[in-house]
Structure 1
Amino acid sequence: MRKTLLTAVRDARSGLALRLIAILSIAILPLGLISSYQTSKVLEKNGALSEIALLDRTRQAAAEERALIQSAFGAVEAISAAASIFDSADIDCDAVLSRLITMEPKYIFAGFVDTRGIMTCASNKERANLSETPFFQDQFANPGGLVSVRPMDATTGGIALNVSVPVVVNDDLIGRFWISIPLTLANDLLGESSDTANLLIFDSEGEILATENFGDDRRTILPQDRSLQEIVRGQQRTFRTHNRRGDLRDFAVVSIVDDTVYVLGSWEPRNTGALTGPSERISLYFPVLMWIVGMAVAYIGTNRLVIRHIKRLRQWMRLYSVGQIDFSQARLQSAPEELEAVADAFRAMAQRLSEQERRREEDIEEKTTLLREVHHRVKNNLQLISSIMNILIRNTDSEEAKHLLRRVQDRVMALSAIHRYVYMSPKLSMVRADQLLEDIIRQLVVVGSADEPENKVSMSTRFDPVELSPDQSVPLMLLATEAAINAVKYCAAANGGKPWITLTLQDLGEDHVKLSVENSRSGLAEEQDSDTDHTGTGLGSRLIESFVSQLDGTLEINALPDRFELHVSFVLVKDEGDDAL
């Protein structure tokens, strides 16, 4: 399975369509690179313009909030610039700050705190020690202008947006003026600025100063994967990500007050260049789409004009290889002229080969019939000879002559059985040795028992299914016949038991076969030794040696006190002549 898959992959890689695609890809590669480069440049410029547009949208949405904070900075800076005149006895500092709050309803408090934390001037004329408050610590921890959100129970009575600047006289810091703006006003201005945006005011430390909803969940509109400090320090002022609610949003950061106060705008995603949408992706990937379309057209065209016709021809060849020979009606559909010429050549070749195959089969059938007839006639002639010898046996009075004639008759019948199996076999080139041995050995046992009815022999056989060529079947059957005749003749009871004969034909694997003939005998059975010993002078031994030599095998004889063993090993030889036939 794995080999088949690897072959399919290798064939696909070397296919015509893929090679054509590779060549066309190389041809249009420069155009694709130029188009991609130009598209990327256009998108880069578009991205810069889109980033500016998004920042401008955020700036416009927070314009009122920006004006509020910057006006507060302007007022408090004006007051701090005139701080030196407040030392005059003719000017009431509290009255000036109160007048400021009265004139500008957006402010709810104005005050001055010295470096000791003592509030020495206030629009509400309150005096308080703020040295231990977080407000005082924040104010004097920052040397510049500051916007913070702190509860001020001693001044405003609640949480306010405080805008403060340091007061310096003769290069000495004497305190800070600040103005408080209602936090609700700052939040409401952000809520009124845009219906589609979430706006948030924060300082450089990441502290949220104002948002349209200043509740506990005010941080849910922040980016999910980055903090406000990271946004301020980073160079990227526009980005797309999910907020902490899990909504996909476009974010933009704009500075309101000299990198001190920032506004973060969160917008519903739009298809702008910096935050690439489907149209920009299509533009960027247009060369790839063009290549895919071009390759698809090339593949479909190649498949329709060439590949499908080649596959059709290949199918015809496969059908021809499994036996279909008539392709006179086979046609290609709308094939190019060149492929039609190939199809015509294949049909003509198939017709010629089919005719030659038909003639060859007729010749083989004729020769097979003749060979069967030859084997049949030889079998009949051998049976006729056996019948003649049977008549001679009945008309002969000498027991020795009868015995000799029966020995010759057994050999003739063995040859007759071989020829009978050959012409009855489905394949003339092969003979089932196990079936043939069963028939011959059964006949020999019957004959041997007839010679000596009182000597009943126990016969056992075990023949593995082995196929032999006629060249080997004849000497093997004659060898088995001769060995079995000797076994029947000299079989005797050993140690008071019954006489027995064992014949085996073993398939040892790798075309090695072993024939074994064993029989029981008494300790006085010396005649068998002299008749079958391969070094003796008896007819049986000479015949056995001759048959073993024809098989190109090896002979092993073991004469034991209680039994006699004969083993012949040889290698199967295929009849290449009959196979070719």
Structure 2
Amino acid sequence: MRLRLAALSGLWTPNLALQLGIGLSLAILPLGFVSVYQTYKVLEERQALSETALLEQTQQAVSESRDIIQSALSTAETLAITVSVFDTAEATCDAVMARVVEESPIYSFAGFVDDALSLVCASNGGRQDLSNLASIRSELTGRRTEILMHPLEFIGGIATVSVAVPVFAAGQFRGTVWIAVPISALNDQLSTVVPDVDLVLFQSEGEIVATAEFSDFRRSVLPASHGLQDLADTGRQTFRDVNQDGNTRDFAVVPIVGDRVLALGSWEPRHRSGLLPGYEGTFALYLPLAMWVITIIVAYIGVNHLVIRHVRRLRSWMRLYAAGRGDLDKARLDNAPEELEVVAEAFRAMTRRLSEQERRLEEDLNEKTVLLREVHHRVKNNLQLISSMLNMQIRATGSLEAKHLLRRVQDRVMALSAIHRYLYLARKLSLVRADKLLEDIIQQLVIVGTLDDRGRQIAVTTALEPVEISPDQSVPLSLLTTEAAINAVKYCGMTSGTDAWINIALKAVSEDRFCLSVVNSRAPDGQAAEGAEVTPIDGSGLGSKLIESFVAQLNGTLEISPQPDRYELHVVFPMTWPTQDEDDA
């Protein structure tokens, strides 16, 4: 479990540049927070100044309009006091009203409406019953000062801003003084004061009095989320909203005639930034982000130039050295820091020491290999000398039984000689190709298909797979094959005159287990070669004992299966791996 967790944790490791970038980012994070906070405060102050400026601009822009309305209101209040002195039915009242309009060109009408809603006195000398005008009935009978906008027929049908002031005498309501100002005068005034500010005058009830552009689209400059009556109830204020056209604007509300007439001004937000929604500002807001980006770039370039490229160079040296390149003593870094130069020099010194040790080990190994091959060569020569001496003894012996026994010994000696000859010629001494070794031994036993001194022909076939075994197993396997082949000759049934055959096979039954099989034909009716035992299974001769001994040395299992027409010998043995010393050799 620990190994698995370690492997999972090592799937991804951030590089040095990334780690340094993260560290520097965390280091400048408090500075970024401070900068953002201060910038946000500056923007708040700037927004507050912008709102204050909008309030001042709006108040200054409507100052003349306020003076006009305030003048009409003052005049109406004065007439409301004086109209009760003279008889309204006389021409004096008309003259007074006409004089007021003459003295103030901004007025288009002045008149008095009695409590019966009859126009009894007017600057134009008109008389009219107003009781049928439902649109102004409430203003005329409301007994309070009203400021409203109506296009009235008795004023000529033009749109006007009217001031209605109630008249009281002896505590009794006698009527209403009416003064009208053409709305065009207010509209012209609002449109020429501040070009970039949209201005609207409205009543406390929410009715528009005048606008900078008095057209069918005059309501397009109003805020979409705020009603005029709600704004009148709130009074002096500033806010941000979208207008009826969908444009974001800053709005300011300023009372100009008490709480009855108010002005609404709006303009585009000042110092607006389209890069960061919700913020209005300057590059100062982006300074922390710019600092972070610059820090990451500097960290990456600096670390890559000073450290990473040299580390990669060292890594490439290590890979080349691991791949077998030993000529790295002259490898140098390009303007590396002193610490990395020390590491590079330590690596070069290590490669020199390892190369020297490897050279000495190679020399020692070559020397030991030469000595070992020489030992096998001399042992092979000595065994061949012994075989020659046995051959001389065979020729000098007159007894057939003695010759037979000496030839058996000679075959065993030649099998050992074949092993040492193979090891002398082999390129790899830690493992032995069993198929080639057994092929050499069988070739020595079979001379032109003859295995007997009487000249009898025996068909010998082999099926040897390319199997590698340890040198310790080569000796018992070779001697086992020799003894099994010699016994097969004895029982292959040549005396009957029928065809005799021997099959020798070596194959892998699993990844580390092998099987040696020696199968030979059997003499019919139990006849065997001259001097041979009748049943090799139950025999107690030297060959049977040797076979059992060699099988034990291989840690294998022996299986002998006699059939009516053949004998089968099967030995299954495991692979014994060479020791470390043998592998080095």
Q: Shorter-chain-normalised TM-score: which range?
A: 0.5 to 0.7
In the alignment, which of 216, 225, 228 is matched to residue 227 of structure 1?
225
- Post-superposition Cα deviations, 1:76-113, rounded to whole Å, max 9, x if no partner, equal 57647866877888227999888777766666678999
Name the residue aligned to 1:508. 510
CA contact (8 A) 1:326 1:351 kept: no
In the alignment, which of 525, 546, 556 is matched to residue 543 of structure 1?
546
Change (3 A) 1:294 1:394: same
Name the residue aligned to 1:371. 372
What is the identity, as a one-letter code, of the residue corresponding to 2:267?
S
Name the residue aligned to 1:330. 331
Aligned-pair distance for 1:350? 3.5
Name the residue aligned to 2:49. 49
In the alignment, which of 556, 566, 569 is matched to residue 570 of structure 2?
566
Aligned-pair distance for 1:429? 1.5
Local SS of the residue matching 2:577 = coil
Structure 2 residue 455 is matched with structure 1 residue 430: no
What is the identity, as a one-letter code, of the residue corresponding to 1:255?
V
Name the residue aligned to 2:496. none
Aligned-pair distance for 1:580? 3.9
Aligned-pair distance for 1:363? 1.9
Indicate the structure (1 or 2) with the bigger Cα radius of gyration. 2
CA contact (8 A) 1:422 1:430 kept: no
- Post-superposition Cα deviations, 1:240-277, rounded to whole Å, max 9, x if no partner, equal x8878777x552333344497452423275369x9632
CA contact (8 A) 2:200 2:211 kept: yes
Segments of 5+ residues of structure 2 without an aligned counterpart are: 1-5, 494-498
Moved more, 357-366 or 445-454: 445-454
Q: How far apart are the structure 2 equivalents of 1:414 and 1:557?
A: 23
Name the residue aligned to 1:237. 238
Q: How high is the sequence identity, in percent, across the aligned residues?
A: 42
TM-score (norm 2): 0.65
Q: How far apart are the structure 2 equivalents of 1:137 and 1:477?
A: 134
CA contact (8 A) 1:204 1:229 kept: no
Name the residue aligned to 2:473. 472
CA contact (8 A) 1:327 1:347 kept: yes
> Number of aligned pairs?
549
What is the identity, as a one-letter code, of the residue corresponding to 2:510?
L
Change (3 A) 1:336 1:13: closer
Local SS of the residue matching 1:368 = helix
In the alignment, which of 44, 52, 68 is matched to residue 71 of structure 1?
68
CA contact (8 A) 1:112 1:177 kept: yes
What is the identity, as a one-letter code, of the residue corresponding to 2:559?
I
- Post-superposition Cα deviations, 1:49-79, rounded to whole Å, max 9, x if no partner, equal 344234444555xx14x64266336635764
Aligned-pair distance for 1:171? 11
Name the residue aligned to 2:582. 578
Cα RMSD after superposing both structures: 6.2
Segments of 5+ residues of structure 1 without an aligned counterpart are: none
Aligned-pair distance for 1:576? 1.0
Name the residue aligned to 1:278. 282
Structure 2 residue 330 is matched with structure 1 residue 358: no
Q: What are the within-5 Å matches in structure 2 for residues 142-541 of structure 1? A: 160=159, 181-182=182-183, 189-198=189-198, 227-229=225-227, 237=238, 239=240, 251-257=250-256, 258=259, 261-267=262-268, 269-270=270-271, 276-282=280-286, 285=287, 312-313=313-314, 315-335=316-336, 340=341, 343-379=344-380, 415-416=416-417, 418-433=419-434, 436=437, 463=465, 466-479=467-480, 503=505, 505-506=507-508, 508-509=510-511, 512-515=512-515, 517=517, 519=519, 531=536, 537=540, 539=542, 541=544
- Post-superposition Cα deviations, 1:178-198, rounded to whole Å, max 9, x if no partner, equal 95754x666555543444455
Aligned-pair distance for 1:577? 0.9
Change (3 A) 1:82 1:206: closer
TM-score (norm 1): 0.65
Moved more, 318-327 or 230-239: 230-239
Change (3 A) 1:48 1:457: same
CA contact (8 A) 2:199 2:212 kept: yes
CA contact (8 A) 2:202 2:209 kept: yes
Change (3 A) 1:85 1:305: same
Change (3 A) 1:342 1:110: same
What is the identity, as a one-letter code, of the residue corresponding to 1:49?
L
Change (3 A) 1:342 1:10: closer
CA contact (8 A) 2:151 2:160 kept: no
Name the residue aligned to 1:9. 13
Q: How far apart are the structure 1 equivalents of 2:242 and 2:456?
A: 109
Aligned-pair distance for 1:281? 1.7
Q: How far apart are the structure 2 equivalents of 1:87 and 1:524?
A: 169
Q: How far apart are the structure 2 equivalents of 1:210 and 1:361?
A: 108
